Structure formats: structure tokens, C-alpha cells
């Protein structure tokens, strides 16, 4: 099996290597890929949509359908993980661990034992629990807001600098995942429940598709943001720029929510009680 | 002769790096028995494709595809900016790779719950016993 695989891989690799003889050189400005469509985008993106970042203009305007269904794909991925993994039957754990916060002593309470009811003195902890370090907690408390602020900047400033909905959404989702790693899954779910993240994911896709539909209702084609000019009270070029921003916000919302949703389901195998 | 070879290597070595990465990913997907290692192989494969597209978009002495000084007048030279199209395509490809990774890991968790192992041989023998 191994030798067959090595032979196949070597054969494929040498065929590919042979084909690279015909490929354009590294950084060749006259490469076929750069000759046909991209000069149009480079020369007209600014004129058509008032967006200096050509990648954003192509992503959300020229190739709007692609990006819309891309958002639908990640929504579908979140949904698929939910249906594959989520279990709602709660298994009765026969022992629970509680930590007395002032002293740091961990109590193991067997089935039928009395559960401490003062949440300011006792916190429930996971069975594979490593003590939350003060350094980790403080660092995360400091950097998580900065990460979230930067993510909002990346979404909002995607017109003028590298960035946009996908990137900002992933950074925003990563900040919540960092919170879940640095504390525990339960307290993160308490802050942003699964229901909220599912609603946010579908809202993001809905914002995107709804913007397209609004263009249709205003008498133009689907996702032609120029038609939004009367609603946004601006010229048709600026309306395209604003339309791209609205769509990017929808994408960011959907990506953030799906990242968090995927993490909740995969890290706890669908049980949502104990994470990593 | 030797000089030609050196110029060719200098001009095409980027493709070779991607092909090596791609073959590592393919090998892992074929040979490795552990499902998580197979998923890692798939991710290496996807990464090599992403790098390949990005390198196709590169142009010598060109800058990132953001119009300098925004809202400028006059004709914009296409050779001054790198090709934005591969960047857009790979932006969406990265998202797809995250989505496939999530679903693949979810499936692996389901397989593990069913058979209590992620090794392909053990799963196969358990299926044969039934």
C-alpha cells in the first residue's frame, strides 16, 4: 500500500513538475492570468464603486453572487456540525467539582451530595481541569477587547486597507474562542449562547441576501448596489460603496457566529457542558 | 546550459515548493490510517493550492491591489498593482477550507463515538465483525 502510494505521489509530482516548464515565470507581469480580466478590475474598481481596495470591490460587487453563496456555505457548515454533533440528552454526572474561590480548595461532590449554592464563593469547574492561572486570566482580559476592537476596524476599514467581512469576522470569532479557552466553555456560552450565535449567523446571510433583494425591488438586478442610491441618499457610485459595507457587515456577522458555533460544538462534542 | 538551468530554477522555484507541499498532503491522505492525520493532509493540500494561486497573481515591481492615495484622477496602470482576482478567489477558498475542516472534524467525532477509535484498520475490522 505504502509503495503504491509513494509511486502515485512521485508520478503525480513529476508530472506537475514537468508541466511547470510551460508556466509563466514568478512575478511575470505578462502572465496570462494577469492579462484578461484583472486589468479591467484594476482600472475601473475605483470609478465604479469608489472603493480603493480592489479586492473588496471584486469580492462584494463584481463577484457578489460568489461571496453570497460563500456565506451560505459557511452557514451550512455551522448547521451541519450542529446536526451531526449536538446532543440534548443531559447525562447525570455522578460527581461534580466545585472550587472555593477564596482558598482555591476543590471539592468533589458525589451524586446526591449537597451542591454549594453561593456562586460568589464557589465556582463549578470541569473534571479535566487545570487551575486558571492569574497571568492567563489577566492577559486575556486585557487583550480580548483589543482583539475585538481591531476586528471591528478590519471590517469597517476594508474599503481602504486590507480587510473586510471574512477577515474581521474570523478575528471577532477568535476573540470569543480565546475567552472560552482561557476561562471555560460554560461561562462563554453564558455570555453568548448558542441560540444567539445561530440567530447571528442566519442574520448575516439574511443581510447579504436582503440587500440583493432590495436592489431587485428598487428596479435593478440582484446585488446591483447602485439601485440603493435613493434609499442611502447618495450618488449611485457612493451607493455601491455603502452597499459593499452593508454586505461586509453581514458577512462579518455570519462568519463570527459560525466560528463560535463550530467551536462550541466541536470542542465539547456537542454536549456544551465541558469544553477543552 | 548551466546558466539556463539556474535562471529556470530561479524563475520557477515557487511552483516546485507548492508541488512538494501538495504531494505531502496527497501522501498523507492516501497512506495515513488515522482520520485526523488524513484531515491534516487535506488541509496541507488546500494550503498549497492557496499559495499557488497567490503566487500566480504576483507581478514584479507592483504593489498590493489598493489604489494609492484613494480617489485619484487619471489612468491607472494595470502593471502597477498585482492581480486582485486570485486574492479574491483564495479569500473564499480559505473560508471553504475552514468550513470543510469543521465538518470533517465533526464527522471524525461521530466516528469516534461510534467505534471508540480513529484508526482506519480498527474501524474496518469492527465493521467486518458485524
CB of A268 within 8 Å of a chain B CB? The answer is no
pLDDT at B71 over 60: no
CA B87 to CA A253: how far, in whole Å? 21
Contact A254, A241 (CB under 8 A): no
CB atoms within 10 A of CB B13: 11
Domains of chain B: 2-59+78-129 (1.10.287.3510)
pLDDT at A94: 65
Cβ <8 Å between A26 and B83: no
Cα angle vertex B50, ends B49, B54, to 5°? Answer: 115
**Residue ranges with strand state E in chain A:** 95-100, 106-110, 122-125
Mark which residues 43-72 of B lie under 8 Å from A by CB: 55-60, 62, 64-67, 70-72
Q: Other C-beta atoms within 10 Å of B91: how many?
A: 20
Q: Which residues between 90 and 109 in chain B have a beta carbon less than 8 angstroms from any beta carbon of chain A? A: 91-92, 94-96, 98-100, 102-103, 105-107, 109
Which cell numbers in the block locate residue B76? 491607472
A201-250 pLDDT tens trace: 999 999 999 999 999 999 889 988 988 888 888 888 899 999 999 999 99
- Nearest-angstrom CA–CA distance, B90 and B39: 19
Give CA separation, B61 vs A28, B58, B81, B93, in Å. 10, 9, 9, 26
Complex prediction ipTM: 0.87
Residue of A nearest to B20 (CA): A13
With a cut of 80, say whether residue A21 has pLDDT above it.
yes
Amino acid at each position: 500500500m505504502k509503495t503504491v502510494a509513494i509511486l502515485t505521489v512521485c508520478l503525480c509530482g513529476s508530472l506537475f513538475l514537468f508541466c511547470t516548464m510551460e508556466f509563466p515565470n514568478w512575478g511575470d507581469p505578462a502572465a496570462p492570468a494577469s492579462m484578461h480580466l484583472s486589468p479591467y478590475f484594476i482600472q475601473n474598481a475605483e470609478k465604479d464603486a469608489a472603493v480603493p481596495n480592489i479586492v473588496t470591490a471584486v469580492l462584494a460587487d463584481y463577484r457578489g453572487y460568489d461571496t453570497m453563496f460563500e456565506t451560505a456555505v459557511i452557514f451550512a457548515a455551522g448547521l451541519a456540525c450542529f446536526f451531526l454533533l449536538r446532543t440534548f440528552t443531559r447525562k447525570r454526572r455522578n460527581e461534580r467539582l466545585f472550587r472555593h474561590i477564596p482558598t482555591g480548595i476543590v471539592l468533589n461532590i458525589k451524586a446526591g451530595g449537597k451542591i454549594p449554592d453561593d456562586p460568589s464563593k464557589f465556582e463549578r469547574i470541569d473534571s479535566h481541569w487545570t487551575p486558571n492561572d492569574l497571568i492567563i486570566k489577566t492577559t486575556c482580559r486585557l487583550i480580548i477587547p483589543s482583539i475585538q476592537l481591531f476586528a471591528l476596524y478590519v471590517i469597517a476599514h476594508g474599503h481602504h486597507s486590507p480587510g473586510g467581512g471574512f477577515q474581521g469576522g474570523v478575528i471577532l470569532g477568535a476573540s470569543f474562542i480565546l475567552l472560552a479557552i482561557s476561562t471555560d466553555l460554560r461561562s462563554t456560552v453564558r455570555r453568548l449562547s448558542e441560540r444567539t450565535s445561530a440567530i447571528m449567523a442566519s442574520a448575516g446571510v439574511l443581510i447579504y441576501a436582503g440587500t440583493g433583494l432590495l436592489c431587485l425591488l428598487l428596479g435593478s438586478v440582484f446585488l446591483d448596489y447602485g439601485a440603493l442610491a435613493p434609499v442611502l441618499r447618495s450618488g449611485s457610485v457612493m451607493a455601491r460603496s455603502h452597499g459593499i459595507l452593508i454586505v461586509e457587515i453581514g458577512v462579518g456577522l455570519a462568519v463570527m457566529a459560525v466560528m463560535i458555533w463550530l467551536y462550541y460544538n466541536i470542542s465539547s462534542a456537542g454536549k456544551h457542558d465541558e469544553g477543552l | 546550459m548551466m546558466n539556463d538551468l539556474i535562471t529556470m530554477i530561479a524563475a520557477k522555484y515557487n511552483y516546485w515548493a507548492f508541488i512538494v507541499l501538495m504531494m505531502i498532503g496527497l501522501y498523507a491522505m492516501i497512506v495515513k490510517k488515522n482520520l485526523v492525520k488524513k484531515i491534516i493532509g487535506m488541509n496541507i493540500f488546500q494550503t498549497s493550492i492557496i499559495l499557488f494561486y497567490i503566487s500566480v497573481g504576483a507581478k514584479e515591481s507592483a504593489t498590493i491591489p489598493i489604489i494609492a492615495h484613494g480617489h485619484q484622477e487619471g489612468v491607472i496602470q494595470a502593471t502597477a498593482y498585482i492581480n486582485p482576482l486570485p486574492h479574491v478567489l483564495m479569500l473564499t477558498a480559505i473560508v471553504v477550507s475552514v468550513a470543510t475542516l469543521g465538518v470533517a472534524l465533526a464527522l471524525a467525532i461521530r466516528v469516534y463515538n461510534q467505534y471508540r477509535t480513529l484508526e482506519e484498520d480498527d474501524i474496518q475490522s469492527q465493521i467486518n465483525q458485524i
